[in-house]
Amino acid sequence: MYREKVHIPIEKPCIILKGSGSNTTIIAYNDSANNVGTSDSATFISSPPNVVVSGISFKNTYGSNGPAVAANFYGDKSAIFECSFFGYQDTLLISSGRSYFKNCFIQGEVDFICGEGQSYFENCVINAVQEKSKSIGFVTAQLREKPNDPNGFVFKGGSIIGIGQVNLGRPWGPYSRVIFWETYFSSVITPEGWNLWHVRGDQKESTYIPWHSLFRSMF
C-alpha cells in the first residue's frame, strides 16, 4: 500500500498508469474538504487528457464527517479499467471531460459518484455503505447547468449493492442527467429512487426538469 497523494499534472498527457490489480496496488490517504477543499482532498488527481488507469485501488480513509475524495478526474478522454474507489462522501469526482469506467468498484454513501463530467460506466459494482447513525445517502450528484450541455452519467449493466438504504441520486444542477440501463438494483435502493435536494437554497424545485432515467430494477 502506498500512503500518499498522487497528482498527474495537466502538462503530462498520454499517461498509462497500470497496477498489479486493485487488491494488490493500493493508494490511500486521509485528506478532506475541511482541510483543503473538496477537489484537492482527492487521494488521486488526474488533470491531463488521454490518461489510462487500470488495476489500482484509490482510497480516502478520512471517514464519514464530510467530503473526502478518493479520485478526481479533470482530463478529457480518461479510461479507467478494473479499478476500485473507496470513500464515504464524494468518493469519485469527475470534475470535467469525457471518461469511461469499466469493471470498476465504487464504494461510498453520500453523493459518491459526482461532478460535471460526461461519463460512461460499464459493468461497474456500486457499493453503498450507510452508517447506522447517518441518514439515507445518494449514489450520484451530477452537475449539469444548461439544457444543451452534453455531460451526464450513464451506467450500463453492473449492480448497486450494499447495506442500509440509498437513493439513486440528487441533482447538483437544474438539468442534471443520470441514466441507469439494465443495472441490477438490490433492496438497498429506496422506493422513491430520486431526491430533488430540497436543502439547496440557490434554486427552487420548479427549476428542475425530470432526470432522464432508464433503468431495469430487479429486487
Annotated catalytic sites, by residue? Answer: 90, 111
177: its cell numbers: 442527467
**Rounded distance between C-alpha atoms, residue 162 and residue 144, angstroms:** 27
For the chain, the first-to-last Cα distance in angstroms comes to 36
Which residues are within 8 A (CB) of 204 and not within 5 positions of it... i.e. 6 or more apart?
A: none
Residue 49 dihedral angles phi and psi, to the nearest 5°: -80, 165
Q: What's the rounded Cα separation, in Å, for the pair 112 and 129?
A: 10
- In angstroms, the CA 183 to CA 160 distance is 8
SS3 content of the chain, % helix, strand, coil (to 5): 5, 40, 55
Torsions phi, psi of 39, nearest 5?
A: -60, -45
Alpha helices in the chain (DSSP H): 33-36
Q: Cβ–Cβ contacts within 10 Å for residue 173, how many?
A: 21
Phi-psi region of 55 (alpha: psi -120 to 50; beta: other; left: phi over 0): left
